[in-house]
Structure 1
């Protein structure tokens, strides 16, 4: 893949790239509708493919929060046309990498030495490149290492990039900026945390140790003395990203083993630690033929407030939800229903939420669950599409759901997506968590 010799870091230059891309997308629409006049049978697939390529090309050159948003969208199957999710998924581990001179410059600026002075051997060509940084192989004292290097200007561009993206998101969702503010504040907070590599290093060491007892998980060792605010050095983990792994045609037993390990990893963090690795995209996991999975990249951690946790997991308890008064109080506490809602709106939205909750919490209500059940996921995507297209929902100007639900929901959607691709059969009941605590 062609390397980048520079990244636009100025606010004006980055904004200009967004505007230019917007013009390209507009031109694609014009060409599409011109062709459709000549041939009414032409579908929008070509239009989606052209737009996805143009948008991704710009985002991959800009890196940072702009590309991170694309990465997040690629995890939400059914939200965007397939052309977009397929293209944006590249941001998980195969974005265009930085050139060698820029990498060396980062070392000199942050650690005061070049890679050749710090390691016995250092590969200047990136092994993987994503939205916030890229990874290089290195060797020291016979140990193979993974060196994560943050792109220049990423931390300084988070706020300005989100300001550019926000008006487009508001227009698409149809809400006022005031209602969207709580979500953008949450995203901005998390993106800024992801650019703080010293914070990530501390969290990586802490959470790896706390989760080390969970079967079939493998964590790297970290090296603070070879790390800085823009560099993290850790052990190199062998394995395959999800797409590559599935091409190896793993047995059902191996799929189940990895799926169970991932479920246990998230279950333990959520219920015991009350803070969770909230970036469950396939680029952050390395799967192995022996049924183990390597986990790294603790840059995005969601700490879960106790009151939110209590109300959120009450949604799994069917006996509580059968009590209309208790159910309505939970919906209010989670900001799914608002004090300003009319009786008609309360009835409408509580009905929508109840159906969605029944679907999404099903794995928690049984002893084991087959995530290879395609009908289950088709029903979820169909229902979400149905809800999204309801006039009442499209015309609503109220943001429904606590800011904390943004990353917690994202975590479960990402986990479900990986388990679905693995077609894993997993023990999901409460008894499994008790076993992990013994």
Structure 2
């Protein structure tokens, strides 16, 4: 935290930003990773959340924290048994053949296998006494983040202000197994009849707020490509099923599984994709769904203006951002990521380039989009692991076309163009009378022009301040020299000190990286250097 503050302001409360090398940031990120692991379950989850927030941390931190795995040794069986029996009653009476050895352990819970009426089930049990620990850690986080907010710029402040509340909401939802059961059941219903997607059934009578019992479905881990090849499974087809499933969840259904890492995805013998662990899941409202569609269509069409419009309307890009600079960044990112064909580039490469600029430009992630961004990047990575030649954009474009979104976009464009033509025609009819009226006023010498100067960035104020400081320095230097020549050393010393203070203030106003300096320029060489670093 201290290093983060000093990077923003050299002396914490004042001073310019420090220049920090990539190696230094990676070393710091490694230390942060170790600290999060030591601090326990809540901070492991916090690290995972931060790995999806490139608007808060530099890309080096995001890359390191992405390695944080939620895998810890399971709690002692007797403690887990207490939780289980408090929720459901005696284990031996409720379950058949309950295996006391957990098959997996995580920071908030652990999973056991058992049987119900002869059917194999997976029983997820929340860690004992985890609620008090999480609440105590959340109080620490809520106390810490406002301190950092005070010292950061407006864009970072926007992201940090909602981070604590977002994290508290996310981790409490993940501890609520009743909510997970509800989300799992809803998503399962959305894929009813789809034989390519398999989602476990929830056993409601054997579940509660701290225990979740569901159908146990075995499969090959989706990242085990050798095993998939041995079983004769078409990996490219599996990748397409995964992408289409997430497109349906986000764009069509509005509720989605938000933790698609390889440990939560498996493949059955028939090639169907199995989804596990719905503790991290989310919802998307209709407005955001529409903007996500607009974004995908704009990327497929390589329409830079439409991409920026979608980002602004989603709240990801500040409306006050330098549009020309951001357009250059987007254009270079797409050009650098695509192949010879316009639809061979990968969405992860595009988002990765954008993430690299989020820390330095006025891009921000509203809480309702953080999980969507994480899903997009992780899913693309899973698909490319299955098939290195997999074309994410091509499949997304095909899906949007099948659902009629691209035709709808074209229809809206035609309607908008028609409205603009009509507006232009009306304007042409109104211009001659207005022009004649203005010329009559000029002829009567009754024509006035009023101009208002917009200075949202305070450029004029800084110019005025520099002019005043410069004039004071210009007057103080000969005054100090005159006093010194007249042998009035005390007065000369006071005048000299005053001159130095004013001169330092003038120098500092020119050293600040803001105001009337030109905006940073991004080139292909910049992007290559960043990728190589």
Q: TM-score, normalised by structure 2?
A: 0.59
Say whether residues 1:150 and 2:117 are aligned partners.
no
Deviation, structure 1 residue 246: 3.2
Deviation, structure 1 residue 124: 1.5
Change (3 A) 1:46 1:379: closer
How do 1:282-293 residues align onto structure 2 when only pairs under 5 Å count? 282-293=262-273
Q: Which has the higher contact order (CA 8 A, sep 6+)?
A: 1
Say whether residues 1:130 and 2:106 are aligned partners.
yes
CA distance in 2, matches of 1:377, 1:274: 22
Deviation, structure 1 residue 95: 1.6
CA distance in 2, matches of 1:102, 1:359: 54
Query: Which residue is equivalent to 1:117?
Result: 93
Query: Which residue is equivalent to 1:347?
Result: 324
Deviation, structure 1 residue 144: 1.1
How do 1:191-270 residues align onto structure 2 when only pairs under 5 Å count? 191-243=171-223, 245-246=224-225, 248=227, 250=229, 253-270=233-250
Change (3 A) 1:151 1:197: same
Which segment drifts farther, 326-335 or 278-287? 326-335
Segments of structure 2 that go 5 or more residues without pairing to the other structure are: 4-22, 405-533
- In 2, are the aligned partners of 1:214 and 1:436 still within 8 Å (CA)? no
Change (3 A) 1:361 1:149: farther
CA distance in 1, matches of 2:85, 2:94: 10
Deviation, structure 1 residue 55: 3.2
Deviation, structure 1 residue 300: 2.6
Query: Which residue is equivalent to 1:101?
Result: 78
SS in structure 2 at match of 1:315: helix
1:407 to 368, 371, 378: 371
Query: Which residue is equivalent to 2:520?
Result: none
SS in structure 2 at match of 1:316: helix
How do 1:258-407 residues align onto structure 2 when only pairs under 5 Å count? 258-318=238-298, 322=303, 324=305, 329-339=309-319, 341=320, 345-353=322-330, 355-356=332-333, 366=343, 381=352, 383=353, 387=357, 393-394=359-360, 400-407=364-371
1:428 to 384, 395, 403: 395
Deviation, structure 1 residue 415: 0.8
Say whether residues 1:180 and 2:157 are aligned partners.
no
Say whether residues 1:417 and 2:363 are aligned partners.
no
How do 1:149-168 residues align onto structure 2 when only pairs under 5 Å count? 149-158=125-134, 160-165=136-141, 167=144
Deviation, structure 1 residue 224: 0.5
Deviation, structure 1 residue 148: 0.7
Deviation, structure 1 residue 298: 2.3
SS in structure 2 at match of 1:232: strand
SS in structure 1 at match of 2:110: strand
1:278-329 deviations in whole A, cap 9, x for unaligned? 22222221234542221132223322122222223212233987484x6654
- In 2, are the aligned partners of 1:200 and 1:299 still within 8 Å (CA)? yes
1:205-254 deviations in whole A, cap 9, x for unaligned? 221121133342222221100001000101111123345x2353626853
Query: Which residue is equivalent to 2:10?
Result: none
SS in structure 1 at match of 2:220: coil
CA distance in 1, matches of 2:52, 2:307: 30
1:92-143 deviations in whole A, cap 9, x for unaligned? xx321111011111012222x1322211111121101123311101122221
Query: Which residue is equivalent to 1:70?
Result: 47
CA distance in 2, matches of 1:116, 1:157: 30
- In 1, are the aligned partners of 2:37 and 2:43 still within 8 Å (CA)? no
Change (3 A) 1:266 1:358: farther
Deviation, structure 1 residue 67: 2.1
Which segment drifts farther, 202-211 or 279-288? 279-288
Deviation, structure 1 residue 350: 4.0
CA distance in 2, matches of 1:208, 1:56: 34
Greater gyration radius: 2
CA distance in 1, matches of 2:333, 2:161: 25
- In 2, are the aligned partners of 1:315 and 1:357 still within 8 Å (CA)? no
Segments of structure 1 that go 5 or more residues without pairing to the other structure are: 1-17, 23-42
